[in-house]
Amino acid sequence: MNYFTISEAAEASFIEKRSEFIGYIAPVKTNDEAVGFVNSIRARHRKAKHNVYAYILRQDNISRYSDDGEPQGTAGVPVLNVLQKRGLTDVCVVVTRYFGGILLGGGGLVRAYSHAASIACDAAHIMNMCRCRRIKIETDYGCYGKVAYLLPNYETITLNSDFGSSVTLEILILSEKYDPFVKDLTEQLNGAVSVTDCEELFYDFSSVKNISET
């Protein structure tokens, strides 16, 4: 299945009744990476009252959180809920709070930590990681026009092209479109094409323009 994650770390902050809340988000793939990120933020903000965190990992289907001294259920869980509602995985969020001297109450804390997590997510670049196949297509120059015509119809991403003695293209295609594409390509070129299935992987299709259209 496809999943959503982020490309790189981001942060955002706001002030609520004199308390400063700083939301940090980073891509992580393992429990050790998540713990390392949490510890790095703690080291950066040793004087902060709280460094609340939550993270979700695809590996072993892990999700963890910590209120870090805030009343139970008012900090870590709201941050985790933001990640879950947005469908994000392989991410860790840490919300640092510098206490401003005014108590926010249970409801106020939930809203503040939720908001900090949300604006951190908003500051990040979200990636739609789709299951796809990397394939190589080889054909002659006379058939290249038909290949180029078909590619945009299947939302492919062209990684490399080699115009040597023959035309060789390396492309990514969504896994569910692989079989129909190969069938269509073979029929259109009357079999005068070689298709090699190199590997299956996840790739962010949301931010890459299909350069075969240019």
Looking at residue 2, its pLDDT comes to 87
- Report the predicted TM-score, pTM, of the whole model to 2 decimal places: 0.82
Looking at residue 71, its pLDDT comes to 95
Instruction: Identify which of 175, 168, 169, 177 has the alpha carbon closest to the alpha carbon of residue 199.
Output: 175
Do the Cβ atoms of 86 and 121 come closer than 8 Å? yes
pLDDT per 10-residue tile (average), the chain, 214 residues: 92 95 97 97 94 96 95 96 96 96 93 97 94 94 90 90 92 94 92 92 71 36
Fold of 130-213: Alpha-Beta Plaits (3.30.70)
Looking at residue 211, its pLDDT comes to 37
Q: In the chain, which residues fall in CATH 3.30.230.30? A: 3-124
Distance CA 147, CA 145 (A): 5
Distance CA 38, CA 94 (A): 6
Looking at residue 207, its pLDDT comes to 59
- Contacts of residue 6, defined as CB under 8 A and 6 or more positions apart, other chains included, come to 25, 26, 27, 88, 91, 121, 124, 125, 126, 127
Do the Cβ atoms of 193 and 186 come closer than 8 Å? yes
Looking at residue 208, its pLDDT comes to 54
Fold of 3-124: Ribosomal Protein S5; domain 2 (3.30.230)
Cα 139 → chain centroid: 35
Q: In the chain, which residues fall in CATH 3.30.70.240? A: 130-213
